[in-house]
Amino acid sequence: AEDYLDIDGQPINPWSRIYPEEMIQTGISAIDVMNSIARGQKIPIFSAAGLPHNEIAAQICRQAGLVKIPGKSVLDDSDDNFAIVFAAMGVNMETARFFKQDFEENGSMENVCLFLNLANDPTIERIITPRLALTAAEFLAYQCEKHVLVILTDMSSYAEALREVSAAREEVPGRRGFPGYMYTDLATIYERAGRVEGRNGSITQIPILTMPNDDITHP
């Protein structure tokens, strides 16, 4: 092993955060023009059952890259300075095969660190999957000085795993059975994105969430 890191990570001091300015292009005009993603930002994709969010995630992995900034060094904006960490949680075998095959056929596997958690895997593995992915992203960003794009799908499966563990521990349930600390737990994942003063790398997050029954009020 090259290094041993805590998968829970370290909290980023808000004072040391750098305001995100440089852009990451996804190759999808609707996102790049209307919802531009800056390095160190987190921007979710809300979807529903039957919609092509998996295809969009795979397309972003194929086409994503850095946008060259005038005045910046070539090394800072080179393709070698960009990496993708992809984590899929609670997916079936067909979806897992789709991601793996798509990355291999298009040559993006060389630039992607892939974490796959299947639906029949233990629930606790689904809970640690995004943390493992973000720990790998932090290593690439802060020790290898890369600009890392982290794609997390599906965070709804993660929340359901959190509910299952909470019920097994006989904790007091919150709204719709989810634990009361769910939003705090999600914050420990989402707040690991950003740019830190004194570090050349960055972590950008695109979490994907499917809304059950198209219910926008779902926790």
3-state secondary structure of 111: helix
Please say whether the beta carbons of 94 and 123 come within 8 A. Answer: no
Which of 115-124, 171-180, 200-209 bottoms out in mean pLDDT, i.e. has the lowest? 171-180
Q: Is 202 left (phi over 0), alpha (psi -120 to 50) or beta?
A: beta
CATH of the domain at 116: 3.40.50.12240
Pseudo-torsion of CA 66, 136, 157, 103, nearest 10°? Answer: 50
The tally of domains found in the chain comes to 1
User: Residue 166, exposed/middle/buried by CB under 10 A (0-12, 13-18, 19+)?
Assistant: buried
**Which residue range(s) make up the domain with 71?**
14-211
Per the domain annotation, does 172 fall within a domain?
yes
Report pLDDT for 206: 95
Per the domain annotation, does 192 fall within a domain?
yes
Report pLDDT for 74: 44
The model's pTM is: 0.89
User: pLDDT over 90 for what percent of the chain?
Assistant: 58
Give the DSSP H or E segment for 114.
strand 112-118
pLDDT of 72 over the 60 cut:
no
Per the domain annotation, does 116 fall within a domain?
yes
Give the DSSP H or E segment for 86.
strand 82-91
pLDDT digits (tens, 9 = 90+) for 22-58: 899 998 999 999 888 999 999 999 998 888 999 999 9
pLDDT of 140 over the 70 cut:
yes
Please say whether the beta carbons of 14 and 193 come within 8 A. Answer: no
Q: Residue 109 — very low, low, confident or very high, per pLDDT cuts 50/70/90?
A: confident
Please say whether the beta carbons of 92 and 121 come within 8 A. Answer: no
Reported in sequence order, the residue ranges of 123-219 that DSSP labels E, i.e. its strands, are 147-153, 194-195, 202-210
